[in-house]
Amino acid sequence: MRTHKEFTFHYPLKHKVVRDLKIVTEHVGDLIVEGVGYFNPSASVLDIFDRYTVDIDFVKWNNTDIKPVLEVTGAMDDVVEAATRFFAHEFENRSNKRAA
């Protein structure tokens, strides 16, 4: 039986620029990602992408949902991967606190 839980997390939005003849990464702001994460206890512990999945409802920038734009540009894959890792980390931490 899969367990599900709503989540919200901040995805750092960065881009590369040239400053003083060096390429540097600048933090532009954070996207607010909202969705539902799922935990499948029967999946392998070794593969977090089988054990944890997410459905992202909104990706907000300045209170505007930009999820459709990210889907069209192909940038949504990175957000989904980060959301899955975030949810897996939060779920494991919550489970470990209950066990302690």
Query: What pTM did the predictor assign?
Result: 0.83
- Over range 7-11, report the average pLDDT: 96
Going by C-alpha positions, the residue among 27, 16, 24, 32 that lies closest to residue 82 is 32
- pLDDT recorded at residue 2: 76
- Kindly indicate the confidence band of residue 92, based on its pLDDT and cuts at 50, 70 and 90: confident
User: Where do the domains of the chain lie?
Assistant: 3-99
Q: Give the pair of three-digit tokens for residue 51.
A: 């054990």
Return d(Cα 29, Cα 27) in angstroms, integer. 6
Contact 67, 58 (CB under 8 A): yes
